[in-house]
Homo-oligomer: A and B are copies of this chain.
Amino acid sequence: MALRYAILGILTARPMSGYEIAKYFEDPMGFVWSAPQSQIYPELHRMEKDGLIEAEVVKRGSRATKRRYSVTGSGEDALRRWLADPAPAPPERDAFRLRTVYMDMVPIDVARKHFEVHLEYYERRAEQWRERAASFRERRSELLIERLRHTPADRHTAVVAFKALAFDGQAARADVEVAWAREALALIDELEAPAG
């Protein structure tokens, strides 16, 4: 269900084609939710059928067209309802933590490599997310600017703050992964060190 609301969310900034939405989700930095193209188009059809969005057929070039989707009143209501609805925390399911539990079963250099990759991945991620949070705080995000254009000025602070907050959370989580991977590498060095 979340995909549907993620789509509604970005469409409240401005109308977009399925392709643009897909771009937004594919870019690992674009969002806090990800989805492949193959999931977007069928979902858009279902959402249109359910009256949450409506499409305007727009010409591009001479022969081709595209469908520009916008959120309906019913769509915005559905989004607000979903946002207000208390949802239970998702079940824990982290494959890398699971691997870590049994990491003693692999050669120690393989284990080290795993954590090195983890470390580097989340270092980059933390940086990217922090940049995202900054781009909201400083109102550099293009989509944010478009959103603010049709938002009452007294709401701007809240709109900006919650978006930045969400990415702060992502960055903080990435920082934890970095620190944890360093702990893991220190542990591995210790395990390898001659007993003394």
Interface, chain A (partner B; CB < 8 A): 2, 5-6, 9, 12, 28, 31-34, 79-80, 82-84, 86-87, 89-107, 110, 113-114, 117-118, 121-122, 155, 157-159, 161-163, 165-166, 168-170, 172-173, 175-177, 179-180, 183-184, 187, 191
Contacts and interface: CB of A to CB of B under 8 A. Distances in A.
A84 B100 contact: no
Contacts of A168: 180, 183
Given A179-B172, A191-B161, A103 B117 contact: no
Given A84-B110, A179-B172, A191-B158, A92 B34 contact: yes
Nearest to A154: B195
Residue of A2, A95, A101 with highest tally of chain B CB at under 10 A:
A101
Contacts of A87: 95-96, 99
Main secondary structure of the interface of A (DSSP, over half): helix
Contacts of A173: 173, 176
A158 to B, nearest CB: 4
